[in-house]
Amino acid sequence: MPEGDSVRRAATRLHTALAGKPLTRSDLRVPRFATADLTGRTTLDVTPRGKHLLARFEGGLTLHSHLRMDGAWHVFPAGAKWHGGPAHEIRAVLGTAEDTAVGYRLPVLELIRTADEDRAVGHLGPDLLGPDWDPDRAAANLLAAPERPLGEALLDQRNLAGIGNIYKCELCFLAGVTPWTPVGALPEATLPRLAAAAHRLLSANTGDRPGPRNTTGSRRPGQDLFVYGRSHRPCLRCGTPVREAPQDGRPTYWCPRCQTGPTTAPDRPRRTG
């Protein structure tokens, strides 16, 4: 699931493959930009902004993409066979003499003027992995709606940019509160600590390291995440079965012993057989 750390890794791969080189191939497979041709333009840089990707080209043009739930960019050596999904899922192809970048299942793909990038990403809060990161501003943004559940506030990219559903669940666990806890009910020092923890976790997962995303620090198989995806399995800290319920349409996980606060999920017997 693409979150701020995986988007930054994608930006690094694209930048390495494309930056400083003229495009020898350009194919944007969305109706609005199907006739646009970037061939011959040099890629200046590929920059992440929260969960957004901005590929900038000479001549003042930017290709803006967003991966959402299952979008992906893959880079292949020139002439290599592409893989990442069926051909009908390809939305963009950018090629140089050495490499080809292929975007699959991109729900957002638009070609805009670089001068107009704020129209696409100007609404975002401080980027957890960007040069504008400001934990105090992020904490203040979260507290601006004190009645809002913490989980929803963390996912709102206008508050801070880069957190997805996995980090939402993990951060609520680390804070010791349920995702349904109102932001205003948290102790005063919790939000700055939470913002700092978010920055630390995403930063630790941005490298080109093998293996899945890790928030626990454990190297043991199956113990990469504290609660996310562990429904009915023991909490890594106390052994209590982890619970799952939807929040704003997303599966949400928490430990009923380690995390205090309200929940909208009633107790339900687990099905067997």
Task: Identify the active-site residue in 49, 51, 56, 168.
Answer: 51
Which of 2, 126, 135, 179 is catalytic? The answer is: 2
CA distances to 175, 216, 231, 240 from 235, rounded to whole Å, are 15, 12, 9, 5
The three-class DSSP label of residue 156 is coil
**3, 48, 91, 179: the active-site residue:** 3
Annotation marks residue 51 as catalytic: yes
Query: Is 152 a catalytic site residue?
Result: no
Distance CA 105, CA 44 (A): 24
CA distance 244 to 7: 26
Residue 113 Cα distances to 26, 41, 83, angstroms: 17, 14, 30
DSSP letters of 19-79? BTSB-SEEEE-SGGGTT---TTPBEEEEEEETTEEEEEETTTEEEEEE-TTT-EEEEEETT
* Beta strand 90-95 pairing with 25-28: antiparallel
Residue 250 falls in the annotated catalytic set? yes
**Does 117 qualify as catalytic in the annotation?**
no
From the candidates 9, 25, 193, 250, which is the catalytic residue?
250
Question: How far apart, in whole angstroms, are the C-alpha atoms of residue 107 and residue 51?
Answer: 12
Distance, CA of 255 to CA of 171 (rounded, Å)? 12
SS3 letters for 212-251? CCCCCCCCCCCCCCCCCCCECCECCCCCCEEEEEEECCEE
Report which DSSP code applies to 81.
Answer: P
Catalytic residue list = 2-3, 51, 250
